[in-house]
Homo-oligomer: A and B are copies of this chain.
Amino acid sequence: MPKISKRGTLMPNSPIRKLVPLAEEAEKNGKQVIRLNIGQPDIPTSDKALAAIRNLDVQVIEYSHSAGMISLRRKMAEYYKNNKIDVSYEDILITVGGSEAITLTLLTCLNAGDEILVPEPFYANYFSFATSADVKVVAITSHIEDGFSLPPIAEFEKKITEKTKGIIICNPNNPTGHVYSRKELEQIRDLVLKYDLFLLSDEVYREFVYDGEEFISAMRLEGMENHCILIDSLSKRYSATGLRTGALVTKNKQLRDTALKFCQARLSPPYVGQIAGEAALDSSDEYMNYVYNEYDHRRKFVVNALNKMPGVFCTMPKGAFYIMVKLPVDDSEKFAMWMLKEFDYQGNTLMVAPGAGFYTEGNLGKQEVRIAYVLNEEKLAIGMKCLEKALEAYPWRTTESVKAKSLV
């Protein structure tokens, strides 16, 4: 029997999805599992997108242009202009979700063996995309006690080698909810220019920034035209994760032309996802406000509930729809598995994403979990009650209490 590849062996199981079999087992056994492990919202998809799908009036579902439909790209350019990001449709390549945009950028910008810097905790799949592309992720640790703000630039500089070719940031951040300030972004820009790096800025949660915080796109930083790649997706904005319609946006023409060759190989992004995505861009203010307010409300609800639990620590996330929480447990993955396998409260249990998967070193995040506040208040309330009761019942609860210095 021929051997599986090394990269296949190195490839991690998704920390977000690896517990799925346990959840399925729990459900088979009659438990209700509140799934806050993954960013799959229960919020209805934009009705504009749904209507476009139901009114599809073509006879042949064709390939589109490899770069994506021009009408969609034009509409996205308009959207960006309204969001103070000055790009033309030619700067936009439509991708199969934000996922493909990241993979294409890594393949286009980095050689096998090159290194990319990422503040951790980070969206776990960055590690997977890098492994696919034979790229090494070099992490700079941010800390829950600081609200996961940008680590000192000196920490980045310490890790720069001649193989370092880029930096990935996620803003607003998944999993931490951090929104980068102008000062932080300017520090990153200076670093990028000093070492002639690429900056991948994953901004798929752009719409979800709370408490009057200002969102600043990396595309607005001066002097970064040839350095900055915006990673985007319509999935979260219009609550349509299954569309798989994302974008790679850059003013760097050589980069785009090269990425397009990879796009040509896979022929085209999904047709219906593009039609629906284009329609979604016309979503009403009413819908957008409803979605925003719903997340804002859920955020406050969850943080409030968490802060009432003894030994639990989190800071108020300023963006996206995730929160990293520190729990008084020996090992958050063991705890998450235990909740699915051994625990229920009135027939319910909770599924969360263990924190370690968002860090490069297993010990970091060992007491943390990521919670996605993507379900309605009723479900969140059950989930929070389960967490509270589970922490009381968990046999390996840590005796030393975590310093519950809330920044809320």
C-alpha gap A222/B261 in the complex (Å): 38
Q: Is the interface of A mostly helix, strand, loop or mixed?
A: loop
A406 to chain B, nearest CB (A): 32
Is the C-beta of A158 less than 8 angstroms from some C-beta in chain B? no
C-alpha gap A134/B107 in the complex (Å): 10
Is the C-beta of A54 less than 8 angstroms from some C-beta in chain B? yes
Say whether A38 contacts B11, CB under 8 Å. no
Report which of B6, B53, B241, B272 forms a contact with A242, defined as CB distance below 8 A. Answer: B272
Q: What are the residues of chain B within 8 A of A134 when measuring CB–CB?
A: 112, 134
A168 to chain B, nearest CB (A): 14
Segment from A42-50, A139-147, A331-339 that makes contact with B: A42-50
C-alpha gap A61/B266 in the complex (Å): 23
A145 to chain B, nearest CB (A): 30
Report which of B13, B62, B196, B264 forms a contact with A40, defined as CB distance below 8 A. Answer: B62
Is the C-beta of A17 less than 8 angstroms from some C-beta in chain B? yes
C-alpha gap A240/B61 in the complex (Å): 5
Is the C-beta of A227 less than 8 angstroms from some C-beta in chain B? yes
Say whether B13 contacts A261, CB under 8 Å. yes
Report which of B16, B56, B226 forms a contact with A50, defined as CB distance below 8 A. Answer: B56
Report the contact-size class of chain A (Cβ under 8 Å from the partner): 35 or more
C-alpha gap A224/B125 in the complex (Å): 33
Say whether A270 contacts B267, CB under 8 Å. no
The answer to whether residues A265 and B125 also contact, given A53-B272, A270-B244, A272-B276 and a CB cut-off of 8 A, is yes
* Residues of A227-247 whose CB lies within 8 A of B: 227, 239-244
Q: What are the residues of chain B within 8 A of A240 when measuring CB–CB?
A: 60-61
Q: What are the residues of chain B within 8 A of A16 when measuring CB–CB?
A: 264
Which of A49, A197, A242 counts the most chain B CB atoms within 10 A? A242
Residue ranges of A at the interface with B (Cβ–Cβ < 8 Å): 1-2, 4-9, 11-14, 16-18, 20, 38, 40-45, 49-50, 53-56, 58-66, 96-97, 99-100, 103, 107-112, 114, 125, 128-129, 132, 134, 165-166, 196-198, 226-227, 239-244, 252, 254-255, 258-259, 261-262, 264-273, 276
Write 8 A-B pairs (CB below 8 A) sorted by A numbering.
A2-B165, A8-B108, A11-B261, A45-B61, A54-B56, A60-B240, A61-B276, A243-B270
Q: Which 4 A/B pairs are nearest by Cβ-Cβ distance? A: A242-B271, A128-B265, A14-B264, A8-B258
